[in-house]
Amino acid sequence: MRALSVLLVFCCAALSGPIAAKDSLGIFNSWGAFRDPNVPRCYALAESEEITGKAERKSYVSVGFWPKRNIRAQFHVRLSRDRSSNSRVMVGIGGRRFQLTANRSDGWSQDKRMDAAIIAALRSANSMTIESTGRDGKPIVDAYLLRGAATAIDAASLGCSRLR
């Protein structure tokens, strides 16, 4: 039942834009992998397992692949609440911390090198937190389990290998 719930959440809410056919590449614990051949793009993503405070939206993390743009394994987060404009967005994975580039509700790696370091950390840790400060001054902490992350990322990578 959890897998069906994960699939529905990811297909319906995770990525904004026009509704398009998205192919499921698999559900791996709390992570899913999907392909959108119309764009073309593939992505692995997970919804947060736990949040601090009242959420304004579903929070999620994704690792995306856009073969025609030559983008591989780009790390992205959607925060559960809008952040304060002067607060940082920090990712904590297995004792390592990364500061993301961010707008009001989303964060991305600063460059390809950071993408690679985050993906490597995801593969060797059990959990991850995304932290910032909300517009209300209260902490934002979105927590994720990483079991299945490596497999979902690999499935997304393989799913886009033919879409070049």
120-162 pLDDT, tens per residue? 999 999 999 999 999 999 999 999 999 999 999 999 999 998 7
In this prediction, the residues of the chain whose per-residue pLDDT falls under 70 are 1-21, 163-164
The pTM score is: 0.85
H-assigned helices in 13-148 = 112-124
Cα torsion through 157, 159, 162, 164, rounded to 10? -60
With respect to CATH, is domain 2-160 assigned 3.90.180.10? Answer: no
Nearest CA-CA partner of 72 in 43, 39, 34:
43
Determine the pLDDT at residue 53: 81
Q: Are strands 96-102 and 23-28 parallel, antiparallel or unpaired?
A: unpaired
Tokens 């992205």 belong to 76
